[in-house]
A and B are shown apart, each in its own frame.
Chain A
Amino acid sequence: MGLVTIAVRNIWRNKLRTVLTLSAVTVLVIFFLLLRTVIWSWTASAEQGARDRIGTRHKVSFIMQLPRRYVEEIRSVPGVKQVAHASWFGAKDPNHTDDFFSTIAVEPKEFLEVYDEIKVPKDQVEAWKQDRQGAIVGDVLAKKRGWKLGQKVVLQGTIYPGDWEFHVSGIYTADSPTVDRSTLWFQYKYLDESRAPRLQDQVGWIMARVDDPGRAAEIAKAVDKKFDDRDIQTLSMSERALQASFLGMVSAILRLIDVVSFVMVLIMGLILGNTIAMGVRERTHEYGVLRAIGFLPKHIVLFILSEGLALGMLGGLIGLAIGYPFVQKGMGPAMEENMGAFFAFFRVTPELVVASFFLASGLGLAAAIIPARTASKLEVVSALRRVG
């Protein structure tokens, strides 16, 4: 039997303490998974934003609109392949006024060309194009509300007052996990024909696909330059830059979560270190005996370090075994359904699983360093003298 095996068996010497330590580490590993997934899912959309799409908005304020003719002008900018425009509508379900979901007016054909990660069955696309009041809704939203194909949905406008009737012509899914599947996209025609004449022929923002993702920033500049001496100037950036600027606004929260994850790692380390230190203190006498029969200080160090490592690994494994299904199957779908606008895809990444395991094991090892040093430096005689 190797020394390491003996060391690992030592873990079971004080069963109650080991069980307690493992449960503390488990709780903290689960929590670590949760926090890092919050950060990841928040930043993921920024990193996975399409590289070949640029967005153009009013330079002064995102609540101000652009003239619709800008769409055609952007189409003529060299390097631009396809263009679509979108307008924020803002609506509430009268029966669930606290529940937020996005409602956006678009031109169906252009929209589906530019956002080709949004998937709608062909016949439903046709139905949407035919129906002025038609809309496509994300499968997550449709399921939550129990909306069926062909159903009539009445919403209250927050910016454009009154009751607005929509028909569910299609239900979309997406082949990119970071797409919000809780949005209602409806016909721009319907919005534009129903609002006051002075608001007509305006659009909220314009998205363009470019042929070379590497030139996205350059093309965005060219677009802004085109409108520079007009009454209304534009602000264009790649989808990634756009999402990065959104992240910039919530970066304080992200930093706080980072601090908390760090605090948690510290607590985990303290608990592991404490357990190992106490185990070592109780066994000082034994280490004296081992030294007396010829084991070297390095063996004692190996003993204690492998015990710490094993404890950390075990805690990490149990934490993952409980935490992974908890976040993946329990929290994930619930978050996507209720907070889809912020957490379109709330899942644990494989990298995080590996990282958590190594973190717990590494902490176990690191926590054992101080007790191991102390124990290895003890004089044989004084160790033997110590009782209990």
Chain B
Amino acid sequence: MIPLTYNVRSLLIRKTTTVATALGIGLVVFVLASAFMLGTGITKTMVGAGRSDNAIVLRKGSDTEMASSLEVNTLGLIGAAPGVKHSNAGTSLLSGEVVIVIAQDKLGTQGQVSNVLVRGVPATALEVRPEVHVIAGHPPRPGTDEVMVGKGLRGKFAGMDLEQSFELKKNRPVKVVGIFESGGSSFESEVWCDVDTARSSFGRDGLVSSVTVRLDSPSKFDAFKATMESDKRLGLEALTETGYYEKQSSGTALFIKIMGGVIVFFLSGGAMIGALITMLAAVSQRQREIGTLRALGFSRFSILTSFLLESSVLSLAGGLLGIACALCMSFVKLSMMNFATWQEVTFSFDPNPAVLLGSLVFGGLMGILGGFYPALRAASVSPIEAMRG
């Protein structure tokens, strides 16, 4: 077996080429890791908003909360359905909400507006969604024009910070009394106000957009769904909350992943050829050296492995560099439109170990694939001819 130091030293001698090739591979690994980090970040943000033991009821055929509307009198019916959890006081844990997207002035742009989702919620909403915590101030009191805003909106839109105010409609200012977080989910890009405030500001009297209920356990969902959808005249549709948000995010997440896949396919093709060129040159320059190694008694197989190792070391070095850069991306926050709701949601790159490791392996694989043919050529060098020069 030829020691690894031989390969490392050979790489160090040709510094420029080594660095250029490793950089090429590093860039590919960087793009690959970033694309998938963003993809998982999006899924985490949007799907993270849902709980598997929560169910959401919409009007049948409307794909989003925004397009849906239900009569307020269906609330009692939904609350009485089997499987719905009851609070200690004996009331059903249910939250009938009014959801609307409003245009707000974006800070730091020249008068550009963007869409913010406003959710009118009853007092029970915080019980149905316990992951929502107020981190500053207090939750809005029912029946007042107070709102709380997700921490993702803070400082991004005019008037959306503690003690500031903005208008839901003309001459209807609301005051921000609280900032909340929800473990990174898309709720953090929403404004929550009292349901009656939302109803009267947006002319939704007697209506809610959607109803979210807490179930006794996730397994109760099928029975709940059957009850909801049994009466065709009501035209209701029940989904698990997780399922609903998965459906909402699938378009955007798929778009990023397909885009990332196509990008990586092309980039890795280019970088792999780069590794191939480098290793081919290395082999042809070291003909004599390889001949000597063969004459010393190293087998064809150990020459083959040695050169494969050399290109793997090269690509792993590049890969590590790429991952280091990709990790820096986790400090970057992006705000992007969710294609399903037109609402602007803040995402981050999610540095999960599986993605990072996968990208590193992919980088190594590129090195092995690119180095295979040159290594084969090295192994087939005839010692006598090579040493003759």
- Which residues of A does B touch, CB under 8 Å? 16-17, 20-21, 23-25, 27-28, 30-31, 34-35, 59-64, 90, 156-159, 161, 233, 235, 244-245, 248-250, 252-253, 256-257, 260, 263-264, 266-268, 270-271, 273-275, 277-278, 282, 370, 388
Contact = CB atoms under 8 A, between A and B. Distances in A.
A245 B113 contact: yes
25 contacts: A21-B273, A28-B266, A28-B267, A28-B270, A31-B266, A31-B270, A34-B262, A60-B168, A61-B202, A62-B103, A158-B61, A158-B67, A161-B235, A245-B114, A248-B106, A248-B109, A248-B112, A249-B114, A266-B23, A267-B274, A270-B21, A277-B17, A278-B17, A278-B281, A282-B281
B138 to A, nearest CB: 26
A253 B62 contact: no
A41 to B, nearest CB: 14
Contacts of A370: 16
Nearest to B28: A267
A263 B30 contact: yes
A216 B270 CA distance: 48
Q: Per DSSP, are chain A's interface residues mostly helix, strand or loop, or mixed?
A: helix
Interface string B265-286: 0110111011011101100010
Contacts of A28: 266-267, 270
Nearest to A88: B67
Contact of B278 (A64, A90, A274, A388): A274
Nearest to A244: B112
A121 B259 CA distance: 39
Nearest to A38: B259
Interface stretch (B72-80, B85-93, B329-337): B329-337
A235 B113 contact: yes
B227 interface: no
Interface in B31-62: 31, 38, 59-62
B277 A17 contact: yes
A264 B268 CA distance: 10
B103 A27 contact: no
Given A158-B67, A266-B27, A274-B278, A249 B270 contact: no
Nearest to B250: A98
B273 A271 contact: yes
A176 B29 CA distance: 41
Given A60-B168, A270-B20, A157 B277 contact: no
Contacts of B277: 17, 20-21, 24, 271, 274-275, 278
B342 interface: yes
Nearest to B276: A20
Nearest to B252: A253
B263 interface: yes
Nearest to A16: B280
Given A245-B114, A248-B114, A27 B270 contact: yes
A24 B336 contact: no
B334 A252 contact: yes
Nearest to B337: A249
A148 B278 CA distance: 58
B274 A270 contact: yes
A31 B28 CA distance: 14
Contacts of B31: 260, 263
A280 B276 CA distance: 18
Nearest to A22: B273
Contacts of B266: 27-28, 30-31, 34, 264
B62 A64 contact: no
Interface string B128-169: 000000000000000000000000000000000000000011
Contacts of A273: 20
Given A23-B273, A233-B170, A267 B335 contact: no
